[in-house]
Structure 1
Amino acid sequence: MSEIIDHHERWHDEIAAYALDAMDEREAAIVEQHLHECEACAERFRWLAPAVNVIPASVAQLEPPPQLRERLMTIVHEEAKATGLDAAPAHSSSRGEGRRRWLPSFEGFALRPALAGAAALLLLIAGVGGYELRNETSPSGSSVQTYAATAGANAPAASGTLRVNGDEGSLRVANLPATERGQVYQAWIKDEEGSIHPSSVFVLSDDGTGVVSLPAGLTDAEQVMVTREPKGGSQSPHENPLIAATLD
């Protein structure tokens, strides 16, 4: 069993780089062939794919610039050159469409260590997580308040903790029901007048937990909620809250 797990883990960097479209045609073909044959790795790719689309939607609401994905790709190419990897050439959108198709593998080609892919995955998770570190560290003298989240009837096993620091905060969740393909989780802020405002979108990590940054809107908030929405997020919830934290 451990050998099977190790086999899948060896592909994690390549799958991350492939999801970011950071491979040349030859390398992408090898990964596509493997994804066609390995359901576990294909599932990992399906988990990563929406995260790539989530990055611009999440980052646009925060302090960092919305060009996170472009900067991330620059890092990938620079590290690829530094480690002797061939950086992926500039290509048109047809290349992106082509990577979704299963292409034949090239016999005799061995995937090289994807150090750049590992860095890309770490930054990807950091971006999707909503800059978690920024929210965990409070300015000197500030007061951080913590609230327990309550599971909704449609997610009885869900749990979570809301941390509020002034007008911003973060919500940690666990045991949320799975999203369908093409969906993400989205946070919502209900103000004291009862109006519901859209906030950040996010995905869960491999262990089923997640953290979403709430960059603004908590000063007058009454409740923070989470629902499942189409990737990219919505302007109004499409279901009852899976989990909700009420601010005292």
Structure 2
Amino acid sequence: MSESLPVLAGVLRTAPESDALVIVGRLLDSLPIPVLLTDCSEELRCAYGNAAWRAWVPPDKFPVEGQSLLEILEGLAASPLLAILRQVCLTGTPAHLRDFEYVGLVGAPVTLPGDVTVWDWEVYPITDARGVHGHLLVVGLDATERALQGPGASPEARARADEMRERASGILRIFGVAPGTDVTASAVQLSGREEEVADLVARGLSNAAVARQLFLSPATVATHISHILEKLGFSSRVEIAAWIVERRLREESSEPPR
């Protein structure tokens, strides 16, 4: 788990020992989606990065906490992504950059000739308790398959892209920047058993592990998860986990100080 997780606690306005924070850390590190938090200083200092983001970092740049993003990624100064980051810091308005090409990413599952990968980057301002957007949330989606196959992308490639988008939506929900974050899912009531299943899903347990924990059959667990997804209007386990985390963070923020 990232050593910068305590910084994430401050951004999410929760305690470093929060149970929700532990779930967030595990969830973000389990995703093949780079997630980065920087501050909005001139240097764009790195505050948090998940495991997928750390794959972008040259070994000699660790630890990255507190370092300028311009020092960590030496090609950033000449990249259009830098202008996007500064723009969002200045305006407080989310912005996207499509078809960003990167050379030499370690462990990339698909590459173009020349070891090139293609990314869509989404940048969101994170607002603190004073209403100041002091941090940026930067999320990357691998678009290499789309670039490789073009408009005739296979159904499998489109399905993988849709799955990544669903997972990204869960990330945005945790940080309170997803479109529609405050809609009906926040008020949905699950049954007691559904709550137990959703909580274990949020902790990363498989259906079989949930079944063992609750003394249920895997088929019964699968049925509960199907009902949970239907009630919440979601389509992925990551969205369930994000919903659990979002609700816990809201509860923790409303608790009086001890």
TM-score category by the smaller chain? under 0.3
TM-score by length of 2: 0.24
Please state which structure has a larger fraction of its residues in helix.
2
TM-score by length of 1: 0.25
